[in-house]
Structure 1
Amino acid sequence: MSAIAKIHVYFIMLPNSVLLDTIGPAEAFQYANRFVSGVEFEGQRQFELHFVGPETKVENTLGLTIQVASLPDVIEANSWVVSTGLAGEFIDLDSSCMEATVNWLGQQKHCIGRYISICAGTLLFAKAGLLDGRVCTTHHMHIDELQEAAPSAKVLANRLFTVDGDFYSSAGVTAGIDLALYLIQQEFGFNCASQVARHMVLFSRRGPNDPSQSPWLENRNHFHQSVHRVQDAIQVDPVRDWSLECLAEVAQCSPRHLVRLFKESAGVTTREYIHKLRLALAMQLLQSSSLPIENVAERCGFDDPRQFRRLWARHHSLPPSHYREKQ
C-alpha cells in the first residue's frame, strides 16, 4: 500500500500565545484526518501537524509551559504555516523571538504553500513584510495596530476571516476554527467540513464574506443521531434519488416515524433538505463552470430545468444567470 500523502501544517508558537488559537484549528484538522481515512475519501491526503517555535519551552496565557520543536532548518514543499494569536493590548514586534521567526519565514518562503494567521498572529506576517497589497484581518483590538504595521495592506474590520491568494487571516480566537473548517472544506469538500463541525459541536460556522449559514451546516443544530445519520447519507450523495423508505433504513425506523422525527429535529422535511443541498451544488456549478442551465439541473439531481428554476426562486431573489454573470 502506498504511503498517504501529507499536508504538513506548522503551528508557530511564540511566548504568551493564546492556546485556543492553536488547539482549536489543530483539533479540527485532526478530526478531518479521521473522516478522510474513510472509504469515500480513499487516496486523499491527511494533515500532519507540527508545533514549533524559536524557543522550545513556551508559556501561554494560561500559565502553562508547553514543549515544542525548534524552528526546523527545512520544511516540506507546499507546507502550511500557521501564526497563532498573542495576548496583550499591544504586540511587541521587536522581540528576539519575533525577529527569529521573521528570519525563519524568509528562509522557508519557497517551501510555504499557505500562510494562515489567527487573531494577532497576523502581525507576525506584517512584521515579515508579507502583507503588502494583501487583504487581511485580525482581532478587533489590533486592527489599527495591523494597519500601522502594514500600511499598504487592505485591513478589513468586522470580518470572521479573509482569503487573499495563499494568505488566510482570521479574527479573534474561535474564528480560527471557522478558518480551519473553511480550509478543510477546500481540501476535502463540504461534507467532511460538516462532519468535523458536528463532531466538534459547532453548528453555525460561516465563510469569509457570507454572514448566513452554509446549507451544509444548517438544520443540524440538534443531537438526534438517527437524523444526523440520514443527513450524513444525503450529504455524501445529494444527487441520488432518495426515497423515504431508503432514508428510513438509514435511520433504522419506519418511514412514518422518520417524517415526524426529521421535521422535529431538523426543522425541515427530508425533501426540503435534499433540495437545499442540490441548490447549493447548483450555485457552485454556476460560479465555476459555463454549463447550460439544463445541464446544471441534471447534474444536481433536479427532475428538469423548470423544477430547478421554481425551487431556485424560492430561495434566491436573483435568477441563476446573475451568479454566472458575476464570474
Structure 2
Amino acid sequence: MPQRTLLFVLFDGVQSLDVTGPLEVFAGAEKLTPGAYRIHTASLDGGPVRTSSGLNLVPDEALTSAPDPHTLLVPGGEGTRAPDPRLIEWLHTHGPRARRLVSVCTGAILLAAAGLLDGRRVTTHWAYCDTLARDHPAVTVEPEPIYICDGDVATSAGVTSGIDLALALVEEDLDREVALAVARHLVVFLRRPGNQAQFSAQLAAQTAQRAPLREVQRWITEHPGGDLTVESLAARARLSPRHFARAFREETGVTPGRYVDRVRLEHARRLLEDTVGGVEEVARASGYGTPEAMRRAFLRALGTPPVEYRRRFHPAPAR
C-alpha cells in the first residue's frame, strides 16, 4: 500500500476546526493502518500561526522546506479575506505538483486565487459562494452540497463538512471499514453524502413574516406524512390556493412544493439513520406513500437509494 503524504497549509486567521477536524480523521486512519499517511503541517515561514479563535498552532516546518505532497489541504478562515500574496504565489507554484487538492470552507478562495480551480465544480461556505463565483467566473460554484469531488480536486463547505470530506477520502484511499472505524472513534456517522444540502429545509428557507404562513411551515415540519397539497395548506392559512402559493414563495424564497419535498426528504433520512423501521414504513411516515416514490426522491436529491443510504449508518455486521 503506497504511503500518501498530506500537507496542511497553516496561516494566521485560519479556522482551527478546518485544520484539526480533517487532521484527526487522517491521523486516526494512520493509527488503524500504519504507513497509510504521513502528515505534515507548514506555514509560510515555519512559525506559529494564530487561529481565528485565538488558538496558536505550531507547524512542523516552513512551506519552502515541505515535501511535495500527495494531498495538499488548504483550510479556510478569516485569514482568507486578505491573504498574504506569498501564500497565493506558493500555492500557484506548488499546488499543481500535488496529486490531490483539497480545500475546507473558504480555503477554496485561496485555491481559486492561485488559479487552481478554473474549470472545476467546487463548493465553499454558503456565505461566500456568491463572492467566489463573482470573483472567479471560470470556476463553477455550487452552493448546495457539503462537499464536491471533481477529479483530483475536492472542496467542502463550512467547517464540520471538512470531516465529512476527509472520511470520504479515507474511504476512497483505504476502505469503508477504516473510514467507519475512524467515524466511530470520533463519534460521528460514517459520512454524510456529498450532495446533501448545507442547510436543513427550515434553515435554507426564510421564515415567513405572516403568522399564518409561519404556522403552515411548522405544520409541514411536524406532519410530513399528512395532506400537504397546496389546497390543504392554503385552507390552513385561510387563503386561496393561488394567493397562498404566491405569498409562500415571496416570504420563504421557495415554493410550497419544494419546501414539502425538502422536509419529507429530511424526515425520511432521519428515520433511516436513527431507526430500524422498514423502508415501506419510513416511506409512509414521511409522506411518500410508496417505497418507489421515496426511492426516486432519494436518487434525485442524494444520488443513492434509501437502502444504500441506510447501510451507511447501519452496516451489516461482520460475519
- TM-score, length basis structure 1: 0.58
Against the structure 1 CA distance between its residues 31 and 204, is the aligned structure 2 distance closer, same or farther, given a 3 Å change threshold? closer
Alignment counterpart, residue 83 of structure 1, candidates 74, 91, 94: 74
Query: 2: distance between equivalents of 1:52 and 1:36?
Result: 24
- Note the C-alpha offset of 1:158: 2.0
Q: Secondary structure at the match of 2:27?
A: helix
Is 1:58 aligned to residue 12 of structure 2? no
Superposition RMSD in Å: 3.1
- Unaligned runs of 5+ residues in structure 2 are 198-273, 279-290, 298-303, 305-319
- Note the C-alpha offset of 1:204: 6.2
Q: Secondary structure at the match of 2:99?
A: strand
- Which whole-Å deviations, capped at 9, do the CAs of 1:52-97 have from their partners, x for residues lacking one? 1114121112212222221134623x52111101127x8114xxx2
- Which whole-Å deviations, capped at 9, do the CAs of 1:298-320 have from their partners, x for residues lacking one? xxxxxxxxxxxxxx9899569xx
Match in the other structure for 1:13: 10
Match in the other structure for 2:240: none
Query: 2: distance between equivalents of 1:64 and 1:315?
Result: 45
Is 1:34 aligned to residue 14 of structure 2? no
Match in the other structure for 2:138: 152
Query: 2: distance between equivalents of 1:111 and 1:150?
Result: 22
- TM-score, length basis structure 2: 0.59
Alignment counterpart, residue 193 of structure 2, candidates 192, 203, 207: 207
Against the structure 1 CA distance between its residues 205 and 74, is the aligned structure 2 distance closer, same or farther, given a 3 Å change threshold? closer
Against the structure 1 CA distance between its residues 317 and 9, is the aligned structure 2 distance closer, same or farther, given a 3 Å change threshold? same
Q: How many residues align?
A: 212
Is 1:124 aligned to residue 116 of structure 2? no
Query: 1: distance between equivalents of 2:294 and 2:180?
Result: 21
Match in the other structure for 1:139: 125
Q: Secondary structure at the match of 2:49?
A: strand
- Note the C-alpha offset of 1:118: 0.3
Could you tell which deviates more after superposition, 106-115 or 22-31? 106-115
Against the structure 1 CA distance between its residues 51 and 74, is the aligned structure 2 distance closer, same or farther, given a 3 Å change threshold? closer
Query: 2: distance between equivalents of 1:158 and 1:267?
Result: 26
- Does the aligned pair in 2 maintain the 1:75–1:108 contact within 8 Å? no
Against the structure 1 CA distance between its residues 73 and 103, is the aligned structure 2 distance closer, same or farther, given a 3 Å change threshold? farther
Match in the other structure for 1:277: none
Query: 2: distance between equivalents of 1:110 and 1:167?
Result: 11
- Note the C-alpha offset of 1:12: 0.6
